[in-house]
Amino acid sequence: MLKITELPPHRHGHDAPLCDVSAARRDRDVGPAAAHVVIVGAGFGGLSATKALAHAPVRVTLIDKRNHHLFQPLLYQVATAGLSPAQIAAPIRTIVRHQKNATVLLGEVTGVDMPKREIALGEMRIPFDYLVLATGARHSYFGYDDWEPFAPGLKSLEDATEIRRRILLAFETAESECDVTAQNRLLTFIVIGAGPTGVEMAGTIAEISRHALRMDFRNIDPGAARILLVEAGPRVLPAFPEVLSKDAQTRLERLGVEVRLGQAVTACDADGVTIGGDHVPAHTIIWAAGVMASPAARWLGVAADRAGRVAVSSDLSVPGHSDIFVIGDTALAKDADGKPLPGLAPVAKQEGAYVARVIAARASNRPALPEFRYKNFGNLATIGRKAAVVDFGRIKLTGFFAWVLWSVAHIFYLIGFRNRLTVSIDWLWAYLTFERGARLITGTPGTIPREASASAKRGRGER
């Protein structure tokens, strides 16, 4: 028996309008009987699926709560003043404007009615023949959400500009601080989690403090800033081979990053963090330790794993619902060895393209496709200027050549020629001069609630 998930209440007790938003295009572009494909999320997976359906006999409605596609692997560059937000994002409508069978809607999906084959978009209900959920992931504080005001994560442009504001403001405030203890706290930066995001953040903060800001202040020495990278596990970059993890740690320490392994954060507040039994005063704390999938499992009324991911079939559909697909960070898909696929951009892009082929084959009455198999072309992570690690399976690279490969790969996957060009120029300039071109303190400073600080001071074991 199909389960109806709870949708938002209807206004005035009446049924919300049923809106087939792309029906106006039906007769002109793809025929009156074209199936309607609704794709929720314009990240790597959703956008890949949308573009791969450009020539399929279907109508596509792409929905996202933001109007831009974001290149998340370079968010840390915005957070550390290396790039501006516009260089790693592009309007969704611009990306698909030449795709005649695609319609873009701005809004937040709040539920799915599976028997009626509708999704809830505010007060509106949108019907679908095929549904693709590519809604990504959000920060996970392992049950301690009261840590979030003090340790923001990095998932959106708003997150990146807030972290950039906190980092730059720490140096500015320290310049006018006379008390040495307070000054040391301002110049202490803690990154929690040593995956690629944490390693990239810690390495870049070390670089800008020791190079880009070195000559800009008179009362403080930015190079004396203390950068801690904290990891509860036994090594940095745990998804990489151990030899690359060791190389990355060595290079981080050469940059001046203090790496603490096998030590869990047990408390986090406005004054700093507690690592095991050691309280470290710090003004700027950055969370890179965990993610939780979007609430898609709740929308669908299906079971999820501890990270909130939906277990999918070999064709990435929801078991028992062959017309509903879940991809990207929201999906628990497995490789040929039965291991869960990582939450990486290449995984989401391949899943999106595969689901599009499955839908196109069904819409054209072609034979079914073989099951999905992820092709791993390698993992990359940068540690700082002229340093990165690359895992191509049997081939493992470190140092300058790995950094060049990392740079070329990220520029190649950026959306739009203009973004590729400007990022290339900025990176070349930064390489030659150590300058960071987006050192702007913007936005309204967020207030850290003192009651949240008090409750967060209680020591807790990290899960």
Give me the CATH number covering residue 208: 3.50.50.100
Are the C-beta atoms of residues 114 and 4 closer than 8 Å to each other?
A: yes
Please say if the pLDDT value at position 261 is more than 90.
yes
| Ramachandran area for residue 255 (φ above 0: left; ψ -120 to 50: alpha; else beta) | alpha
Instruction: Compute the average pLDDT of residues 32-43.
Output: 89
Instruction: Compute the average pLDDT of residues 158-170.
Output: 95
Residue 320, in any domain of the structure: yes
Query: Computed over its alpha carbons, how large is the radius of gyration of the chain?
Result: 23
Rounded to whole angstroms, the Cα distance separating 286 from 452 reads 17
Are the C-beta atoms of residues 53 and 359 closer than 8 Å to each other?
A: yes
Helices (H) and strands (E) in the chain, counts: 12, 25
Rounded to whole angstroms, the Cα distance separating 304 from 20 reads 30
φ, ψ for residue 167 (rounded to 5)?
A: -65, -50
Report, as residue numbers or ranges, the catalytic residues: 200
Whether residues 150 and 102 share a domain: the answer is no
3-state secondary structure of 207: helix
pLDDT tens-digit series, residues 182-229: 999 999 999 999 999 999 999 999 999 998 888 889 999 999 999 999
Instruction: Compute the average pLDDT of residues 12-26.
Output: 53
Show which of 363, 389, 408 is a domain's final residue: 363
Are the C-beta atoms of residues 415 and 71 closer than 8 Å to each other?
A: yes
Query: Average pLDDT over the chain, rounded to whole?
Result: 87
Are the C-beta atoms of residues 197 and 160 closer than 8 Å to each other?
A: no
Instruction: Say if strands 89-91 and 68-70 run parallel, antiparallel, or are unpaired.
Output: antiparallel
Please say if the pLDDT value at position 24 is more than 60.
no
Q: What is the pLDDT of residue 16?
A: 54
Amino acid at 57: P
Please say if the pLDDT value at position 452 is more than 60.
no
Please say if the pLDDT value at position 423 is more than 50.
yes
3-state secondary structure of 11: helix
Which residues contact residue 444 at a Cβ distance below 8 angstroms, ignoring those fewer than 6 apart? none
Rounded to whole angstroms, the Cα distance separating 18 from 48 reads 27
Instruction: Compute the average pLDDT of residues 161-180.
Output: 95
Which residues contact residue 119 at a Cβ distance below 8 angstroms, ignoring those fewer than 6 apart? 38, 40, 63, 109, 111, 112, 113, 125, 126, 128, 131
Helix ranges, 176-268 (H): 180-186, 196-207, 242-255
Number of separate domains in the chain: 2
Amino acid at 350: Q
Q: What is the pLDDT of residue 281?
A: 96
Residue 462, in any domain of the structure: no
pTM (predicted TM-score): 0.87
- Show the domain range for 187: 145-289+443-456
Lowest-confidence region among 18-27, 59-68, 135-144, 427-436:
18-27
Whether residues 280 and 298 share a domain: the answer is no
Q: What is the pLDDT of residue 13?
A: 42
Show which of 318, 345, 363 is a domain's final residue: 363
Instruction: Compute the average pLDDT of residues 388-394.
Output: 90
Whether residues 229 and 97 share a domain: the answer is no
Rounded to whole angstroms, the Cα distance separating 279 from 275 reads 6
Q: What is the pLDDT of residue 445?
A: 58
CATH number for position 92: 3.50.50.60
Q: Which helix (H) or strand (E) holds 121?
A: strand 118-121
Q: What is the pLDDT of residue 437?
A: 63
Residue 315: name the closest of 328, 298, 299, 327 by CA. 327
Q: What is the pLDDT of residue 168?
A: 94
Residue 410, in any domain of the structure: no
Look-up: residue for tokens 């290339």? 424
| Ramachandran area for residue 285 (φ above 0: left; ψ -120 to 50: alpha; else beta) | beta
